[in-house]
Amino acid sequence: MINVRGLTKAYTHSAGAFHALRGIDLDIRPGEFVAIVGKSGSGKSTLLNLLGGIDRPTTGIVRIEGTAIESLSPTELARWRGRRVGFVFQSFQLLPTLTVRENVMLPMDFAGYGPERGRSARARELLDQVGVADQADKLPAALSGGQQQRAAIARALANDPPLLLADEPTGNLDSATGGAIFSLFATLVTAGRTIVVVTHERDADSGVQRRVTLADGAVVA
């Protein structure tokens, strides 16, 4: 599913180059639920960004389902991301001017997923699946944090991507709600989806199948 070889990422600052990742090798199988853990600044979000194609590596290769994503043009990358990857962010990142249902339908519009008239029903179905169908026609601001994150997961699933990437999805939630989100991820993995989640140590046991620990930009465990 995911094959990473010799992945490095360096940021150049006035003080010199900062190496966020130093030669990462990583393989993730289809249907695996992987947690990337590590201290703040260890490079875990950078790795997730490179896996999702929202940042470019300095050196190394990222292959997702056989596609070397660094070889794609910005437009190809955007199309690939829309169809093959679902993102879940720490601060939900729902678009405030669209209703919850519209937020879920938007990736389908971008990717041209399924027949247009069926998108609303699919959005409703996904929202039902994550437990916020009753909030479908509300604006994000009207939802609680947990509800917004569930809606964000529904949006990530909109185009039925095989890969779900989540960057500290419970970072803004209380522990009970966070636990519920991880349970939802576990259910999705059971249904055959691959999930990579950047999280804190404490959440890494919540149904996660494998833990990848980073320190100073390298895999240490």
Partner 1 sequence: MAPRWRKATRDLMARPGRTALAILALVAGVFQVGAMLYKFALLQPELTTMYGRTDPAAAVFTTDGVTDEVVDVVRHVPGVGVAEARPVVIARVRKGDAEWIPAAVSVIRDFDAQQIDTFKPEAGAWPPGRDEIVLERSALEFSHIAIGDTITLRLPGGEDRAMRVAGTVYAAGLAPAWMEHVVPGYVTWDSPVRGAADGSGESAQIRMRVADHAFDEGYVQEVADSAQAALERAGHVVSRVTIPPPGKHPHADQMAAFLFLLLTFGILSFALSMLLVTGMIHGLMIEQVREVGVMKALGATDRQVAAIYLGQVAILAAVALVIGTPIGLFVGRAYAEFSAGILNVDLTHRPFPLWLLLAEFVLGVVLPLLVALIPIRRAARISVHEALSDGAGARAFGERPFERTLLSIRALPRPLALSLRTALRRPGRVGLTVAMLAVGGAAFMAALNTAAAWNGAVEADFAHRRYDLTVVLVEFQATAELDRILAAVPEVAHAEYWPGASPYLVGPHGVSTVTATMLGPDPGSELLRLPLTAGRWLEPGDLDAVVINQSVVQNHPGLGVGDSVGVRQRGRTTRFPIVGIVKEIAPTPAIYAPPGAVRGVTGRVPGESRSIRVVSRSHDDAGQLRAARALETAFEAAGIEVTGMHRMLDQKKGILDHLVILISILTMASLIVVIVGAIGLASTLTVSVVQRTREIGILSAIGATPGTIAWQVTFEGLLLAVLSWLAALVLSIPLSFGLEYAAGMIFLRVPLPFSLSPSAAGTWLGLVVVLALVSSFYPARRATGLSVREALGST
Q: Give contact residues for partner 1 (rule: CB under 8 A).
A: 11, 20, 45-46, 49, 52, 54-55, 74-75, 78-79, 81-83, 87, 89, 91, 93, 95-99, 102, 105-107, 109-111, 139, 141-142, 155-156, 158-159, 167
Whole-number Å distance between alpha carbons of 155 and 88: 8
CB of 45 to partner 1, least distance (A): 5
17, with CB counted inside 10 A (0-12, 13-18, 19+), is: exposed
Q: Which is nearer to partner 1, 93 or 213 (CB)?
A: 93
Q: Which is nearer to partner 1, 25 or 109 (CB)?
A: 109
Q: How far apart are the first and last CA of the chain?
A: 20
CB of 142 to partner 1, least distance (A): 8
φ and ψ at residue 195, rounded to 5 degrees: -130, 130
Amino acid present at 198: V
Q: Which is nearer to partner 1, 159 or 206 (CB)?
A: 159
Residue written as token pair 């989100």: 181
Q: Which two tokens stand for residue 209?
A: 């199948």
Q: Which is nearer to partner 1, 106 or 188 (CB)?
A: 106
Whole-number Å distance between alpha carbons of 133 and 127: 5
Q: Which is nearer to partner 1, 159 or 194 (CB)?
A: 159
Whole-number Å distance between alpha carbons of 177 and 166: 15
Whole-number Å distance between alpha carbons of 126 and 167: 20
CB of 77 to partner 1, least distance (A): 9
Whole-number Å distance between alpha carbons of 198 and 220: 15
CB of 94 to partner 1, least distance (A): 8
CB of 42 to partner 1, least distance (A): 11
Q: Which is nearer to partner 1, 76 or 134 (CB)?
A: 76
CB of 175 to partner 1, least distance (A): 20
